[in-house]
A and B are shown apart, each in its own frame.
Chain A
Amino acid sequence: MILDAHGHLGSWPDFLIPDPSAAGMVSLMDRLGIDAIGISHLLAVGPDAEEGNRLAFAAAGRHPGRIGVWQVYNPHQRNRLTGSGVWGVKIHPDVHECRLDDRRYDPVWELGLPVLAHGQTGSPWSDPAQFVTVAGRHPHVPLLLGHAGLWPNGFARAAELAGPYPNLFLEICGSKMTGRWIARLAELIGADRVIYGSDACFLDLRVGFGRVALAPLTDADRTLVQGANLARLLPPDQPAGPARSPEP
């Protein structure tokens, strides 16, 4: 099963996304053999979490089993969260200008669902060191360190910091990631702690997927990265979750 942990729908203000649609996403997934993608709507990541989440659920409803929802929590808007029918919660400390380890995110951790958070080496809001703090506070919450820290000069550090925390996973999308670095991360922290994401439609699904497909990984490690790891973490009520995805 191939699962994409990091997807989006919708537009973003500072650049043109030629195809921000759910239909366009699913047609590419069909072509590439991707079973499901977890998305947050970029409106929710941006200024309106409640409405953006509504749009995300609507897209998931139009594509059942293919699009899962990362519901966005905005600590300023303190929007409602649901405990079922989602892949988990998406937070973006840099856009929200709220540190990942800020207590205003406590409602997120209290849900106990997987959390996908933007991670950015050197950022005052989302440096990988803050993931260590949160992972230690909430050892039963699966936490995906988005972009593995984003910048190549922080990838190895992110792996080193995350290593001792079994609930912390490196999600690998980003415009600076390379196939070589994916293989290195799998070696540094173990392939069972590396999770494929594409950042599509923000980025092109084919580039993110292809980076893993052609990375110098063993077939067994590629299977883990492309979906088996994430399938173990998703809530059992999700079609892509462990109830439907036995161990490889």
Chain B
Amino acid sequence: MPKSVLDAHRLIGPVPFDDLPRDPGREMDRLGIHHACVTHTLSLYSDVHAGNEALLGLRDPRLVPVPVLLPEAFAPAQDWDVPMVRLCPARHRYELTGPTALRRLADLGAVAAIELDETSPAELVTLTRRLPELRVLLLSPGYRRLRAIGELMAEIPNLWLEIGTVNTQRGVEWLAAHYGAERLVFGTGAPVMDDCGPRFLLDHLELPEADIDLIASGGSLLGQGVLR
């Protein structure tokens, strides 16, 4: 059992297509998840700014706010003091590698969390070549694109992987063997995605205990108290 579990990918708030728990606290308690990086659902399914405002007003010490960055050239830059921001270039219809997004990301200096379905491997390569200091956490990479993921992990040293959807037989161990356990980060995408299976997997990975502890606490990206 890992000593401390951080879910690097979780939502808070209502969704339009299901009746899901709005507050993650109860399920986190039940599953032994001590901290979570959370994004507000309003930022995904309604108004980005309203969601960020609600998120940044949270005062739960277990929840680390991950606001959604909306790089609008006509709006002032955000001056958040946060360790990680989330970007949804497909959902919010902007260019991830456009000049405004690049400028805002460089100015913030935060980790950029992006779902694979919101971008493409080629775009991620371009982004990280333009901003070589940028640290990227790839959310929900899935299990069907391990070949492309492997190429990205080899090509981009500042890329980390959220493992909640790495769901093919011994896929997490395969990634750890090829690219290092320290680049893997526990996360779930709950409550839209499942948290029970990934949480169970974390306890049953066939990796050294120190590696499991590191993955559970956010890998070398977010571990060792970086977020707290």
Chain A interfacial positions (CB closer than 8 Å to B) = 14-20, 24-25, 28, 31-32, 152-153, 175-180, 200-216
Contacts and interface: CB of A to CB of B under 8 A. Distances in A.
Contact of A175 (B30, B147, B165, B195): B165
Contacts of A207: 167, 194, 197-198, 200-201
Nearest to A200: B169
A201 B143 CA distance: 12
By CB atoms of chain A within 10 A, which of B17, B31, B171, B197 has the most? B197
Q: Nearest 7 CB-CB pairs, A to B?
A: A210-B200, A179-B196, A207-B197, A18-B174, A214-B196, A201-B169, A211-B197
A208 B146 CA distance: 19
B170 interface: yes
A76 B147 CA distance: 32
B49 interface: no
Interface string B139-169: 0001111110000000000000000010111
Contacts of A203: 143, 167-169
A219 B198 CA distance: 21
Given A16-B147, A179-B196, 13 more contacts: A14-B144, A32-B204, A178-B191, A178-B193, A178-B194, A179-B197, A180-B191, A202-B168, A203-B168, A207-B194, A207-B201, A210-B196, A211-B196
B194 A18 contact: no
B172 to A, nearest CB: 8
A18 B168 contact: yes
By CB atoms of chain A within 10 A, which of B31, B147, B198 has the most? B198
A214 B204 CA distance: 13
Contacts of A15: 143-147, 168
A216 B172 CA distance: 25
B169 A204 contact: yes
Contacts, number: 102
A20 B170 CA distance: 9
A18 B170 contact: yes
A149 B192 CA distance: 17
A24 B196 contact: no
A152 B169 contact: no
Contacts of B201: 204, 206-207, 210
A211 B194 contact: yes
A13 B172 CA distance: 20
A176 B189 CA distance: 11
28 contacts: A16-B146, A16-B168, A16-B174, A18-B171, A18-B173, A19-B170, A24-B169, A24-B170, A152-B18, A175-B142, A175-B143, A177-B194, A180-B20, A200-B169, A201-B168, A202-B168, A204-B201, A206-B197, A206-B204, A207-B198, A210-B197, A210-B198, A211-B194, A211-B196, A213-B196, A214-B31, A214-B196, A214-B200
B20 to A, nearest CB: 7
B18 to A, nearest CB: 7
B199 interface: yes
Nearest to A8: B169
B161 to A, nearest CB: 14
Interface in B1-56: 17-18, 20, 30-31
Contacts of A200: 169
A206 B191 CA distance: 19
Contacts of B147: 15-16
Nearest to A32: B204
Nearest to A209: B200
A214 B165 CA distance: 17
Interface string B195-216: 1111111001000000000000
Interface in B50-84: none
Contacts of A201: 168-169
Nearest to B149: A16
